[in-house]
DNA sequence: CCCATAACGGGACCCCAGTTTCGTTAATCG
DNA sequence: CGATTAACGAAACTGGGGTCCCGTTATGGG
């Protein structure tokens, strides 16, 4: 009495428990990608993962919190970052990476579904924000290098430049039916670079 | 036999039927805004609209197709467009309009929910795309005027410039917890204007 | 003004997502 | 290696979201 009930998997996270988590997250990603966020039930995920339905309900409970866990998992696996020596080159590399990810049928659907899930619950939204914070943070360095090289003004908000590259690609993914091609990626990078050089992303208003 | 079953409301769209549609769409907007897209059932909407549950299921059937209809309804009501005489001024006006809409608790939640719904079904996605096509088309004129004034290069893709203004605002709404303030709107407008002047949105690749 | 019928609405029904129960398996510690 | 118990999983159960049936209302045409 009075003792806090800890989350399942926190006391014995090894062996079987870890295997179950991996299988369920894998199945959740598959289901999310091919069926979409709306018509998705945990029973189906349990079936795919060859795991007891009870287990899924006990450990995650709702679709949104399962997606939140999936996001935590994805945030942990970092992607490599290329360096080309110029701001435009680096931003293009970033834009191409984002574009390829979103254009891929499975990954694209997965990201759409995760964004949808994040609009439905605060916890999931937080996980999504954290995911993007990490990605943005990683790439912000290349903007800092551009500042050091004198390519862009001194107190440019480095994070904001990186976000400016992704924004049009996500906007197109969500609000238009047009395909996400390499031209779109290059245009996003060029626009962000041009705006950054012109001082549109200065920290001081 | 062989006769097509027509959608309810298409043969007798007047009087009661129109009243029911209006009440249901109103209720759907309210429910979407305050409860979110995920935990939303048509029975609850019927209750709010003081309409028979059967009616809602017969005419719309699923949450996503109800959202699609809501989008058609919203696309019909056009918003006024200001003209300031300069590209930056017009883009700022547009950015502020989008920012105020998304920052408003009810409207913001509604837009999030509609985007989420659009990721779940093709029909709804189409309705959403159409909605934005109309909005973008309306504001594209002010970019054309900027071209005529010689502010931006000749074959600038006018629609793309307008989308570039909205993109960062939507991106922030969905992927970050930061508030959508006027600074964000101004920055979006300035970035788009700077990139447009620099020729980042030329039609010819 | 009146008729044919499109569309609405109440209520019974049913299926399955989500819960509860309890027995089984295997992770961790000594 | 053996005891303890966290975590899993099969099966029975339940409640509410979604469907069906059929009577009622009121629209639009003649």
Highest-confidence segment of A60-64, A89-93, A200-204, B35-39: A89-93
Q: How many CB atoms lie within 10 A of CB A10?
A: 8
Percent with pLDDT over 70 in chain B: 97
Q: Give the Å distances, CA to CA, from B103 to A24, A126, B26, B83.
A: 36, 18, 20, 23
| Residue A11 three-state SS | coil
Beta bridge partners of B156: B202
| Residue A177 three-state SS | coil
Closest residue (CA) to C1' of nucleotide D29 is B12
Q: What is the pTM of this model?
A: 0.93
A131 token code pair:
């995911």
CA distance B57 to B55: 5
Say if the Cβ atoms of A175 and B170 lie within 8 Å.
yes
Say if the Cβ atoms of A174 and B64 lie within 8 Å.
no
Q: Give the Å distances, CA to CA, from A193 to A154, A164, B74.
A: 15, 9, 35
Beta bridge partners of A202: A156
Phi first, then psi: what are they for B156, rounded to 5°? Answer: -70, 140
Buried b (16+ CB within 10 A) or exposed e, A62-77: bbbbbbbbbbebbbee
Q: What is the pLDDT of residue A4?
A: 45
Of B121, B144, B154, B177, nearest in space to A119 by CA: B177
A55 contact partners, CB below 8 Å, separation of at least 6: A20, A24, A46
Residue B150's Cβ-count burial label (10 Å; 0-12, 13-18, 19+) is exposed
pLDDT, one tens digit per residue, over A152-164 is 999 999 999 999 9
Q: What is the pLDDT of residue B140?
A: 96
**Can you give the distance from the CA of residue A137 to the C1' of nucleotide C27 in angstroms?**
37
Query: Is the distance between the Cβ of B36 and the closest atom of strand D smaller than 7 Å?
Result: no
Percent with pLDDT over 70 in chain A: 97
Of residues B119, B171, B195, nearest to A163 (C-beta): B171
Mean pLDDT over the full length of chain A: 92
**Can you give the distance from the CA of residue A8 to the C1' of nucleotide C17 in angstroms?**
22
CA distance A54 to A58: 6
pLDDT, one tens digit per residue, over A71-113 is 999 988 878 788 899 999 999 999 999 999 999 999 999 999 9
CA distance B64 to A128: 23
**Mean pLDDT on A107-129:** 94
| Tokens 């996605």 belong to residue | B125
Closest nucleotide to A8, Cα to C1':
D7
**Mean pLDDT on B70-85:** 87
CB B120 within 8 A of CB A116: yes
CB B73 within 8 A of CB B132: no
Query: Is the distance between the Cβ of B17 and the closest atom of strand C smaller than 7 Å?
Result: yes
Phi first, then psi: what are they for A182, rounded to 5°? Answer: -65, -30
pLDDT, one tens digit per residue, over B1-50 is 333 456 887 787 778 899 999 999 999 999 999 888 998 999 999 999 99
CA distance A182 to A148: 29
Say if the Cβ atoms of B116 and A121 lie within 8 Å.
no
**Mean pLDDT on B66-73:** 94
Q: Give the Å distances, CA to CA, from B135 to A120, B22, B129, B132.
A: 26, 22, 10, 5
**Can you give the distance from the CA of residue B60 to the C1' of nucleotide D28 in angstroms?**
23
Distance from CA of B180 to the nearest CA of A (A): 14
pLDDT, one tens digit per residue, over B137-190 is 999 999 999 999 999 999 999 999 999 999 999 999 999 999 999 999 999 999
Which of A67, A108, A168, A199 is the best substitution to test chain B (most B C-beta atoms within 10 A)?
A168
Query: Is the distance between the Cβ of A55 and the closest atom of strand D smaller than 7 Å?
Result: yes
Distance from CA of B36 to the nearest CA of A (A): 6
Of B99, B187, B171, nearest in space to A163 by CA: B171
Query: Is the distance between the Cβ of A80 and the closest atom of strand C smaller than 7 Å?
Result: no
**Nearest C-alpha in A relative to B204:** A183
Q: What is the pLDDT of residue A14?
A: 75
With beta carbons under 8 A apart, name residues in chain B contacting A171: 163, 166-167, 170-171
Of residues B121, B171, B190, nearest to A200 (C-beta): B190
Beta bridge partners of B202: B156
A132 token code pair:
């993007």
Percent with pLDDT over 90 in chain B: 82
CA distance B170 to B175: 8
- DSSP secondary structure string for all residues of A140-163: HHHHHHHHHTTSS-TTB-HHHHHH
**Mean pLDDT on A184-202:** 98
CB B143 within 8 A of CB B196: yes
Q: What is the pLDDT of residue B189?
A: 98
Phi first, then psi: what are they for B17, rounded to 5°? Answer: -55, -45
Q: Is B79 left (phi over 0), alpha (psi -120 to 50) or beta?
A: beta
Is it the case that residue A1 has pLDDT exceeding 50?
Answer: no
Confidence of residue B81 (pLDDT cuts 50, 70, 90): confident
CA distance A147 to A153: 6
Query: Is the distance between the Cβ of A182 and the closest atom of strand C smaller than 7 Å?
Result: no
CB B118 within 8 A of CB B130: no
Closest nucleotide to A53, Cα to C1':
D9
Is it the case that residue A3 has pLDDT exceeding 50?
Answer: no
């Amino acid at each position: 009495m009075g003792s806090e009930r800890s989350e399942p998997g926190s006391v014995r996270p090894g062996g079987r428990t870890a295997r179950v988590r991996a299988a369920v997250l894998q199945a959740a990603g598959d289901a999310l990608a091919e069926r979409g966020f709306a018509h998705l039930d945990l029973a189906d995920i349990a079936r795919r993962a060859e795991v007891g339905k009870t287990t899924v309900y006990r450990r995650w409970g709702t679709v949104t919190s399962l997606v939140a866990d999936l996001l935590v998992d994805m945030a942990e696996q970092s992607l490599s970052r290329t360096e080309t020596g110029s701001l435009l080159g680096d931003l293009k590399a970033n834009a191409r990476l984002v574009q390829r990810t979103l254009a891929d049928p499975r990954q694209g659907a997965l990201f759409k579904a995760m964004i949808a899930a994040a609009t439905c619950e605060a916890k999931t939204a937080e996980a999504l924000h954290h995911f993007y914070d990490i990605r943005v943070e990683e790439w912000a360095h290349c903007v800092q290098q551009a500042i050091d090289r004198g390519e862009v003004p001194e107190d440019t908000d480095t994070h904001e430049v990186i976000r400016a590259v992704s924004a049009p690609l996500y906007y197109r993914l969500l609000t238009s039916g047009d395909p996400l091609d390499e031209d779109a990626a290059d245009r996003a990078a060029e626009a962000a670079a041009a705006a950054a050089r012109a001082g549109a992303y200065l920290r001081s208003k």
